Amino acid sequence: MMSTSDNPHSDSKADEFEHDDRVLFDSIADEYAKKDYAKSSSMVRRYQLFFALRPIIERVFKFETIVEIACGVGASAHYLDGLYEKYIGIDYSEKQIAAARKFNENNPRATFIAANIKSSVLPDVKADLILAVGALHHMTEHEKVFAALGRLAKPGGYFVAIEPHRGNALIQLLRGARIKLDEGYSKRQQYYLAADLRGILKKAGLEEIEIENEGYFSAPFAQVVIQPQFISTPISAILLTLDRFLDKNMPSFLKKLSWNIMARGKFPEGR
């Protein structure tokens, strides 16, 4: 994302939203990083990532280049270590990028760049996988976002997004309460149904689009670090085991109750 100073010709309301979120994520960078240090949270976050990538990993085995937008602390570089030759994390928050470099200081294959994904200052790479973990619901002007992603992706490269799902009224009520009570929670978020995400990817020209629901009990542990860890970690592990079963066996008509929704697609081969 970018602020008005980055692009004076862009929509002012989009600039305002993006500026506010960037200020927020700068302010919570250290606190946000704790989710991937704490065992109770990191085990769920890792599972969600592999669940989203599962069918692609089964086909590709190892990626040459992964680009992750809105990468935060770059935890995906850690979780996917051994499955790529190069990882590039991009985030518009300079403090998140600083936290990512610290989190991955022993990983020479991971590089981090502070930039708006819609800006012209992007790496000259061709990624075979572009990740967006909890990113799209903070972003404005999706057409511009996917135009930039198309320039970063190889023909036939994969796109994978993990997003909050708005199909469960109770979960939406809890999110609304958190927006009011938690100063570190973005007020600018939007939430998706399967049709919403499918429409975004289809409009962007992606092919072989797949949408999948995920997470019924463990997802809150991915977002909040609960202390003490010696209590929250086994509880998280139990709920994660339950979700592993439900993610495979939940009846179709109940899948709309999930916390998360995953979207997969491919950039066209003949671009």
Strand intervals (E) in 138-259: 153-164, 207-214
What is the rounded average pLDDT of the residues 104-111?
Answer: 97
Backbone angles phi, psi at 46, to 5 degrees: -65, -45
- The pLDDT assigned to 189 comes to 78
- The pLDDT assigned to 11 comes to 60
Token digits for 124? 């000259």
Q: Fill in the DSSP letter of residue 192.
A: B
Q: Please tell me the distance from the alpha carbon of residue 161 to that of residue 65, in angstroms, as a whole number.
A: 17
Residues 6+ positions from 202 with CB-CB distance below 8 Å: 209
Distances (CA, A) of 271 to 15, 156, 259: 30, 9, 35
Question: Burial of 248 by CB count in 10 Å (0-12 exposed, 13-18 middle, 19+ buried)?
Answer: exposed
Q: Please tell me the distance from the alpha carbon of residue 121 to that of residue 195, in angstroms, as a whole number.
A: 32
Question: Burial of 62 by CB count in 10 Å (0-12 exposed, 13-18 middle, 19+ buried)?
Answer: exposed
Question: 3-state class of 121 per DSSP?
Answer: coil
Give the tens place of pLDDT for each residue, 27-69: 888 888 999 999 999 999 999 999 999 999 999 989 999 999 9
Q: Fill in the DSSP letter of residue 29.
A: H
Q: Please tell me the distance from the alpha carbon of residue 18 to that of residue 239, in angstroms, as a whole number.
A: 34
What is the rounded average pLDDT of the residues 213-220?
Answer: 97
Token digits for 185? 């929670």
Q: Please tell me the distance from the alpha carbon of residue 156 to that of residue 225, in angstroms, as a whole number.
A: 38
Question: 3-state class of 245 per DSSP?
Answer: helix
Which one has a higher pLDDT value, 256 or 271?
Answer: 256
- The pLDDT assigned to 212 comes to 97
Percent of the chain past pLDDT 90, that is, above it, reads 75
DSSP code string of 5-45: TT-TTS-HHHHHHHHHHHHHHHHTHHHHHGGGTSHHHHHHH
β partners of residue 67:
88, 130
Q: Which of 28-42, 158-172, 183-197 has the lowest mean pLDDT?
A: 183-197
Classify the C-alpha dihedral 32-29-117-179 as positive or negative: positive
Q: Please tell me the distance from the alpha carbon of residue 121 to that of residue 101, in angstroms, as a whole number.
A: 19
Q: Which of 128-132, 180-184, 252-256 has the lowest mean pLDDT?
A: 180-184
In the chain, the domains with their CATH numbers are 12-266 (3.40.50.150)
Backbone angles phi, psi at 246, to 5 degrees: -65, -35
